[in-house]
Structure 1
Amino acid sequence: MSNHVVTVTEELVQPILDEMKLELVDVVFEQEGSNWYLRVFIDKPGGVDIEECGQVSEQLSEKLDEKDPIDIAYFLEVASPGAERPLKTEQDFEKYVGEYVYMKLYEPIDGEKEFEGTLVSFEDNLAVVEIKIKTRKKKLEIPFNKIAKANLAVSFN
Structure 2
Amino acid sequence: MVGVLAKIDELTDLIEPVVIGMGFLLWGVEYIPSGNYSTLRIYIDHEDGIQVDQCADVSRQVSAVLDVEDPISSNYTLEVSSPGMDRPLFTLEQYAAYIGEWVDIKLRYAFEGRRKFKGVLVGIEDGDVIVQVDKEEFLLPIESIDRGRIIPNFN
Using structure 2 for the length normalisation, give the TM-score: 0.76
Residues 6/113 of structure 1: CA separation in 2 closer, same or farther (3 Å cut)? closer
Match of 1:17 among 13, 19, 24: 19
Taking only the aligned residue pairs, the percentage that are identical comes to 33
Greater Cα shift, 69-78 or 143-152: 143-152
Tell me the equivalent position of 2:150. 152
Q: Residues of 2 paired with 1:15 and 1:155: CA distance?
A: 33
5+ residue gaps, structure 1, are 133-137
Q: Residues of 1 paired with 2:27 and 2:123: CA distance?
A: 21
Residue 94 of structure 1 aligns to a residue in which SS? helix
Q: Which has the larger radius of gyration?
A: 1
Residue 75 of structure 2 aligns to a residue in which SS? coil
Report how far residue 156 of structure 1 moved: 8.7
Match of 1:66 among 65, 68, 92: 68
Report how far residue 57 of structure 1 moved: 0.5
Residues 45/117 of structure 1: CA separation in 2 closer, same or farther (3 Å cut)? farther
Q: Residues of 2 paired with 1:89 and 1:30: CA distance?
A: 18
Residues 99/69 of structure 1: CA separation in 2 closer, same or farther (3 Å cut)? same
Contact 1:100 1:154 in 2 (8 A): yes
5+ residue gaps, structure 2, are none
| Aligned residue type for 2:145 | A
Residues 124/24 of structure 1: CA separation in 2 closer, same or farther (3 Å cut)? same
Does 2:105 align with 1:108?
A: no
Residues 31/49 of structure 1: CA separation in 2 closer, same or farther (3 Å cut)? same
CA deviations 1:19-55 (Å, max 9, x no partner) are: 2332223222325686422211222335322122111
Match of 2:139 among 129, 139, 142: 142
Residues 126/49 of structure 1: CA separation in 2 closer, same or farther (3 Å cut)? same
| Aligned residue type for 1:29 | Y
Residues 113/28 of structure 1: CA separation in 2 closer, same or farther (3 Å cut)? closer
Tell me the equivalent position of 2:59. 57
